[in-house]
Amino acid sequence: MMSQVICMTQFESEQKESQRPVPQAHSAFESLLTCAAETDVTVLLQGESGVGKGVTAGIIHQRST
């Protein structure tokens, strides 16, 4: 649980510092995916159809092994 909070805090901090939405947001999202993959927590991905939940889950799974 604590690692979840740390990951989200880092992600939110990077988002707030960013004035360039696309490159920095991508970098921050990559960082969040890596952080999630390195921890032993359950990840819940929510969103509308077609937004990339399956792709995101695949990336997290690939990085966790």
Per-residue pLDDT tens digits for 4-56: 555 666 656 655 554 444 455 688 888 888 999 999 888 999 999 988 889 88
CA 53 to the chain's CA centroid: 11
Q: What is the pLDDT of residue 16?
A: 53
Enter the DSSP assignment of 49: T
- End-to-end, the C-alpha distance of the chain in Å comes to 20
Q: What is the pLDDT of residue 45?
A: 92
Count structural domains, the chain.
1
Q: In which domain, by residue range, is 35 found?
A: 2-64
CA 46 to the chain's CA centroid: 12
Per-residue pLDDT tens digits for 35-47: 999 998 889 999 9
